């Protein structure tokens, strides 16, 4: 019986480790994905380079360099908050708007709406600039623009442009 308890304890500890590593991996991936394409991305790369250099110095037992790099990380907590303030603000603001269940059907519908709007604008010989967010985040540009709170349809895509071109 004691053998079965030891096996069960080993299995539960193993799965607990797998779950923790999986959760941390996913969190690390989405954090990097969030910062990629922003103005803070070069800072993320530099920070990862400093972490790598610190681990490298510790592995080679370079005590002076390791101590200097480790003490640098004591100050980096405040620096990270200051440097990544716009990204952190956007992250916290967007936590309530997470779309875990966004389906391909919704994406396809949005693309079809844009295509219909472009066709109508083309027929009316009206030019337009449409920006679609992909790898580079457009949040800074969006925040400087005019917010239109409505469902996407070919008419809503066309109406703001017509009112701007007529004025």
Q: pLDDT (tens digit, 0 to 9) for every residue of the chain, 167 residues total?
A: 788 787 877 777 788 888 899 999 998 898 888 778 777 788 888 888 888 998 999 899 998 998 888 888 777 778 878 877 887 877 777 666 555 555 666 777 778 888 888 888 888 888 777 777 655 566 666 666 666 666 666 665 555 544 444 44
Domain range holding 32? 2-97
- Collect contacts of 79-85 with beta carbons under 8 A, ≥24 apart: 80/47, 83/40, 83/43, 84/35, 84/40, 84/43
Number of H helices, E strands in the chain: 7, 0
What are the φ/ψ torsions at residue 57 (nearest 5 degrees)? -65, -35
Of 49, 79, 97, the residue at which a domain comes to its end is: 97
| CA–CA gap between residue 121 and residue 163 (Å, rounded) | 13
Q: Do residues 90 and 124 share a domain?
A: no
Of 53, 77, 97, the residue at which a domain comes to its end is: 97
Token digits of residue 128:
């337009």
Q: Do residues 114 and 59 share a domain?
A: no
Q: Do residues 37 and 62 share a domain?
A: yes
Total domain count, the chain: 2
């Amino acid at each position: 019986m004691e053998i079965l308890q030891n096996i069960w304890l080993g299995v539960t500890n193993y799965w607990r480790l797998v779950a923790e590593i999986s959760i941390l991996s996913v969190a690390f991936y989405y954090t990097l994905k969030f910062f990629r394409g922003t103005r803070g991305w070069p800072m993320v790369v530099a920070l990862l380079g400093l972490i790598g250099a610190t681990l490298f110095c510790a592995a080679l037992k370079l005590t002076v360099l390791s101590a200097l790099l480790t003490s640098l990380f004591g100050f980096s907590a405040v620096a990270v908050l200051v440097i990544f303030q716009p990204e952190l603000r956007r992250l916290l603001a967007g936590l309530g708007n997470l779309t875990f269940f966004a389906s391909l059907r919704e994406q396809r519908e949005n693309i079809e709406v844009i295509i219909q709007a472009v066709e109508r604008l083309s027929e009316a010989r009206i030019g337009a600039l449409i920006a679609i967010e992909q790898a580079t985040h457009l949040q800074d540009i969006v925040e400087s623009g005019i917010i239109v709170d409505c469902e996407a349809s070919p008419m809503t895509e066309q109406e703001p442009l017509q009112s701007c071109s007529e004025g």
